[in-house]
Every structure is written in structure tokens, then in C-alpha cells.
Amino acid sequence: MFTRAILRGSRSLFSHTALPPSRSLNLRSVPYSSSSPQTPKFSLADQIMKDKVSEEDKSEKPGGSGDEPPPPSGPKPLGKWEKIGYTFVGSMFVGGLLINAVIFSLPDRDEEGENIPDEYSELPFPSQYAKRLSNKIFKTKKDLEEPFSDKLLPEPLQKPYYQPKYTVFLELTGLLVHATWTVKALFR
């Protein structure tokens, strides 16, 4: 009885759940299956969902309901002072790099302040600074990669000096260098 009242579009039973007039169903428009004449092929929920989907499709088309604001068109353009600030910071960064490169590629000096001639002294000014800079960068990298000394322990003392029978090793684990390796933190 309840389903018949809903299918007929009655508003007397549970008026808050009744269908609006545009969605009311007519029993004659619902197709029936051939096996049983009383059971419809589509249920009421199927029909309501079809109506909702068709309404949503209509509202999503351009010129629809207009309830939703349009999506943002892209990044906001920079203001005048933002452009000036970014230009200033960028030029200071590039200028600092250039000044450090020139200072790092200066020729070495002796105690009197005179330049020590090297293999790049006869080259033109820009190329001698560029080659000296690349040479110093590779030399610094090599010095950092290689060990400080070839020997781990010094040579034993010759007589008449006394050589102790043991050598003390201090373990620095946890003090300055952690001897653990993890994927997240690498060497610590």
C-alpha cells in the first residue's frame, strides 16, 4: 500500500518524502517485465536517480544554474613591488656568486703581497680566472675526498725511545659522528 501511494505520487503519506510534481511517476509509463505483470522493470530509486543525473548534467553545462563560482584562471600576476623584490634578490644572489668566484680564483700571493706566477699567468685575464677557478674547485674536491694521511698509525719509535705495547683508539660514535646509516637520514 505504501509503495502504491508513492508510485501514484500521493503527498498524503510522509509529505517530506513525497516526490515533487515534476518527478511524479505514472504507473502506465513504467515498463513491466513479461514474466510477471505486477513487477516493474525499473524501481522507483532507479527512476529518481535517472532524474537527478539528468538534472546535474543540465546544470553542469555552460550557462547552467551559476551557483558555483568559475574556476580560477591561473596564477595571480605579480605586483610592481613583488617584481622589484624578486629582481633585487635574484641580482644579489647572482652578484654574490660572481664576487665569490672572482675572489676564489685570485692568484696566490707571497708575504710581500706580490702575485705568485702560476701556469695561468700568461693567459688573457678572463680565461686565467676561469681556468684558475675550475682548477681550485677540482683541487678542493680532491682534498675533501682523499684521506688526510696515508698511514693510520705513525711509524714505531726507534731506540733509545720507549714504544708502548698498545695504542689507544678513541671511539667517537655518538659524539661527533654517528656510525649508523639509514635510507632516510643517510650517514649520521
CA-based nearest residue to 9, from 55, 23, 86, 152: 23
Mean pLDDT across the chain, nearest whole number? 76
Start-to-end Cα distance in the chain:
76
Query: Does the pLDDT at position 19 exceed 70?
Result: no
- What's the grid cell of residue 26? 505514472
Evaluate if residue 61 carries a pLDDT over 70: no
- pTM exceeds 0.85 for this model: no
Split at pLDDT 50, 70, 90, the class of 13 is very low
Q: Identify the weakest region by mean pLDDT among 15-29, 109-123, 148-162.
A: 15-29
Backbone angles phi, psi at 109, to 5 degrees: -120, 155
Q: Exposed, middle or buried: residue 72 (CB in 10 Å: 0-12, 13-18, 19+)?
A: exposed
Given a contact cutoff of 8 angstroms between Cβ atoms, the answer to whether 18 and 9 are in contact is yes
As a whole number, mean pLDDT of residues 168-177 equals: 68
Phi-psi region of 113 (alpha: psi -120 to 50; beta: other; left: phi over 0): left
Q: Phi then psi for 15, rounded to 5 degrees?
A: -60, -25
Angle, helices 80-104 vs 125-145, to 10°: value is 80
Q: pLDDT by residue (tens digit) across 62-93?
A: 554 556 677 778 888 889 999 999 999 999 99
What are the counts of helices (DSSP H) followed by strands (DSSP E) for the chain? 4, 2
